[in-house]
């Protein structure tokens, strides 16, 4: 699996928990779906100013797509590229629409006891790096999540992951940044693959070389 990629660190994201990493501009992070079934939520922040964050709304405008393809960049709240998708061995099914799960989401789903959630995982992962975020952020990039726009062009349908074991994406840093991930704890709504809806581990690798180098594209402007 991706033996040609040179990495300086590899780490496990335990099922239901989160991890965050710091990338230097030009490095990349590989997100590996070890079991082929797991949704992984993702956020990114400017390492010099964490009030500037990866913004799904600005990203959709920049790329003119609902979801990214290889060569597309993720854009910050200040409309700067922060990450670029440079490789994807999965079917390319990801999501930029659905809010990350949080404690209130599980209350609404009927949980009467605390439930692990992606939003808390974001704060925990960043805290492990000694970073305190100024505010929450429910607008994650939901890697491997299968949300389909229906034929009416309005309705969304939530479906299980369609990846296979070992599928991965690679995100290149366009600035020094923190990137946080959550191996989504969702076990009520059927999003994890293969029908049992059981959260599982994923893997991260911080890459230094060997990954595809795609040209950074500018913002979309009307012809």
Looking at residue 3, its pLDDT comes to 52
Six-digit token string for 201: 């581990």
Q: Is residue 162 a contact partner of residue 91, using CB atoms and an 8 Å limit?
A: yes
Residue-wise pLDDT tens digits, 146-184: 999 999 999 999 999 999 999 999 999 999 999 999 999
Residues 6+ apart with CB under 8 A from 148: 156, 157, 159
Outline where DSSP puts E strands in the chain: 6-13, 18-23, 28-33, 40-46, 73-75, 81-88, 141-143, 146-149, 156-159, 167-173, 177-183, 202-209
Residues of the chain falling short of pLDDT 70: 1-3
Length of the chain: 223
Paired residues of 7 in beta bridges: 207
**Summary count for the chain: helices (H), strands (E):** 3, 12
Residue 150, SS3 per DSSP: coil
Write down the pLDDT at residue 203: 98
Q: Give the pLDDT confidence score for residue 194 in this predicted structure.
A: 84
Look up the pTM and report it.
Answer: 0.96
């Amino acid at each position: 699996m991706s033996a040609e990629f040179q990495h300086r660190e590899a780490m496990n994201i335990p099922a239901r928990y989160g991890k965050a990493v710091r990338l230097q501009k030009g490095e990349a992070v590989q997100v590996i779906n070890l079991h082929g079934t797991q949704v992984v939520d993702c956020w990114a922040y400017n390492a010099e100013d964490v009030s500037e964050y990866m913004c799904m709304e600005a990203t959709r405008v920049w790329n003119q797509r609902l979801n990214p393809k290889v060569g597309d960049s993720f854009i910050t709240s200040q409309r700067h590229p922060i990450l670029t998708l440079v490789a994807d061995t999965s079917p390319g099914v990801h999501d930029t629409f659905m809010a990350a799960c949080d404690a209130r989401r599980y209350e609404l789903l009927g949980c009467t006891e605390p439930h692990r959630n992606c939003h808390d995982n974001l704060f925990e992962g960043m805290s492990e790096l000694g970073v305190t975020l100024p505010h929450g952020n429910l607008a994650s990039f939901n890697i491997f999540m299968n949300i389909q726009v229906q034929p009416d062009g309005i309705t969304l349908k939530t479906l299980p992951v369609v990846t296979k074991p070992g599928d991965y994406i690679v995100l290149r840093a366009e600035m020094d940044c923190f990137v946080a991930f959550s191996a989504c704890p969702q076990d009520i709504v059927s999003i994890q693959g293969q029908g049992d809806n059981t959260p599982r581990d994923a893997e991260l690798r911080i890459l230094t070389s060997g990954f595809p180098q795609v040209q950074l594209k500018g913002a979309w402007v009307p012809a």
